[in-house]
């Protein structure tokens, strides 16, 4: 059976650990959206990695790793990760890159700074928005262009000419050279040049042959370009619905969809966050949960679990299972709350509002749940958890009407409660 692993909040749910665990039994792992804005923490044989471009399947030498057409790829980041993993594994990961995926080029992060979107949205400043914008405006450079060097130079020349006209006074833009850029790109991408092609057909063949394919989502449902908290979102589709378009696979009814939910909520960057905390409780969650961005090192904003937002995310993603992460971070809390509805003035709502204005006025209505004092990192079954911790995860599953598949009780792969699947 093939499976998609999808973030249900504002990213940083712990998808890296879950994907790494499941990738062990997969034959193919496909990353389908985003770029090096993602930072997936993976602990492989005791060594901690923060991966940004490369799918978690790369940690298992036999697994084919696909970078699908919905991604934007920074070749320098990819090459550095590829080299690091080759050293760690003693052999190169098996990679295949969609010719349709777009390249993030040095001018994309520059545009974020020049236009101010980096600061306004609080982006990761990796050039994600400008790269997807170039794609939509049909002036982007695609991975497939790397196989046609003279065409690549022509396209880069045209794009840089246009940028110079728009930003005549920006020295970083006027200094760009298409020839130099093309030379650098071809050099950096050299190990991948033979592995660029029609990724959609490679994925479809694997699915037809009943191979176990894992689809690795980046970011989370609330950062989705269409259904997230616009404009404070990323520039790609982060949901199950986006997976078809981003991979070229239509038979999604045969793919399980596991939603990854952190036991509380975090957000980096700007944007409304109804259950955001401040002071002692927020600091405790941040310190105990290590809530600092893998990509940017920024402290994450922390708050209580928001079941209204999660219900919206679960509906969007046709979930077949839930993976709850970082439950251990809540051990020893003096109180635990979850948001069940919002109040806007006199009005109570139970639906997650998509409009920025409405969300800005949402006051959370909380339910207080029992807390537990015990450390839980050694629990390997739900019954081994203190009853309050067991009730907490059951409650989430009941409200979202999605069965539990996994509960993570610590960062290491073995610190996991597996429900209904074999973790060996
Ligand atoms: P961008 O994707 O760099 O354009 O950033 C847009 C918004 O998405 C910002 O609020 C970022 O902090 C957030 N974001 C992007 N990628 C991630 C991620 O992997 N985890 C958490 N937040 C992210």
Alpha carbons within 13 A on the beta-carbon side of 320? 13
**Which pLDDT belongs to residue 90?**
93
Please compute the mean of the pLDDT values over residues 261-272 and round it to a whole number.
96
From 20, 40, 102, 312, the catalytic residue: 40
Terminus-to-terminus CA distance in the chain, angstroms?
17
Does the active-site annotation cover 390? no
Q: Spell out which residues line ligand 1, taking CB within 6 angstroms.
A: 10-12, 37-39, 121-124, 126, 128-129, 218-219, 223, 232, 234-235, 268-269
Integer Cα distance of 265 and 120 in angstroms = 22
Does the active-site annotation cover 272? no
Q: State pTM to two decimals.
A: 0.95
* Answer CATH for 2-99+198-418 from 3.40.50.920, 3.40.50.970, 3.30.428.10, 3.90.170.10: 3.90.170.10
Q: Which of 5-19, 48-62, 126-140 has the lowest mean pLDDT?
A: 48-62
* Answer CATH for 102-193 from 3.40.50.10490, 1.10.300.10, 3.40.50.1220, 3.40.190.10: 1.10.300.10
**Which pLDDT belongs to residue 221?**
98
pLDDT tens by residue, 314-369: 999 999 999 999 999 999 999 999 999 999 999 999 999 989 999 999 999 999 99
Query: Residue with the nearest Cα to atom 5 of ligand 1?
Result: 123
**Which pLDDT belongs to residue 301?**
97
**Which pLDDT belongs to residue 421?**
64
**Which pLDDT belongs to residue 423?**
59
Closest CA to 255 of 274, 242, 273, 268: 242
For the chain, what is the mean pLDDT?
95
pLDDT tens by residue, 144-185: 999 999 999 999 999 999 999 999 999 999 999 999 999 999
Domain ranges across the chain: 2-99+198-418, 102-193
Query: Residue with the nearest Cα to atom 9 of ligand 1?
Result: 123
**Which pLDDT belongs to residue 39?**
84
**Which pLDDT belongs to residue 22?**
93
């Amino acid at each position: 059976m093939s499976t998609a692993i999808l973030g249900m909040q504002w990213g940083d749910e712990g998808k890296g650990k879950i994907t790494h665990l499941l990738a062990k039994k997969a034959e193919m792992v496909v990353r389908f959206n985003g770029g090096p804005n993602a930072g997936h923490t993976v602990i492989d044989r005791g060594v901690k990695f923060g991966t940004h471009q490369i799918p978690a399947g790369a940690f298992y030498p036999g697994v084919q790793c696909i970078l699908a057409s919905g991604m934007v790829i920074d070749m320098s980041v990819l090459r550095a990760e590829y080299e690091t993993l080759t050293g760690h594994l003693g052999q190169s990961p098996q990679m295949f890159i969609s010719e349709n995926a777009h390249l993030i080029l040095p001018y994309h992060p520059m545009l974020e700074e020049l236009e101010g979107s980096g600061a306004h949205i609080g982006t990761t400043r990796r050039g994600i928005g400008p790269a997807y914008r170039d794609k939509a405006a049909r002036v982007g450079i695609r991975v497939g262009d790397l196989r046609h060097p003279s065409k690549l130079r022509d396209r880069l020349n045209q794009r840089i000419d246009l940028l110079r006209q728009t930003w005549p006074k920006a020295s970083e833009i006027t200094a760009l050279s298409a020839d130099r850029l093309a030379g650098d790109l071809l050099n950096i991408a050299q190990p991948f040049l033979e592995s660029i092609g029609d990724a959609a057909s490679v994925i479809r063949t694997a699915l037809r042959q009943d191979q176990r394919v894992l689809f690795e989502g980046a970011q989370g449902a609330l950062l989705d370009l269409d259904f997230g908290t616009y404009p404070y979102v990323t520039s790609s589709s982060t949901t199950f619905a986006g997976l078809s378009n981003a991979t070229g696979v239509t038979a999604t009814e045969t793919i399980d969809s596991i939603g990854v939910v952190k036991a509380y909520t975090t957000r980096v960057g700007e944007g409304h966050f109804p259950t955001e905390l401040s002071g002692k409780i927020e600091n405790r969650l941040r310190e105990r949960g290590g809530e600092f961005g893998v990509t940017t090192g920024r402290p994450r904003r922390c708050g209580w679990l928001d079941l209204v937002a999660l219900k919206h995310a679960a509906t969007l993603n046709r979930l077949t299972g839930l993976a709850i992460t970082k439950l251990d971070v809540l051990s020893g809390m003096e109180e635990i709350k979850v948001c069940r509805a919002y109040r806007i003035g006199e009005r109570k709502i139970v639906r997650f509002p998509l409009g920025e204005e409405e969300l800005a006025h949402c006051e959370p209505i909380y339910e207080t749940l029992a807390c537990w004092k015990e450390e839980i990192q050694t629990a390997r079954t739900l019954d081994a958890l203190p009853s309050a911790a067991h009730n907490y995860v059951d409650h989430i599953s009941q409200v979202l009407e999605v069965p539990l598949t996994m509960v993570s009780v610590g960062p290491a792969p073995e610190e996991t409660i597996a429900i209904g699947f074999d973790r060996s």
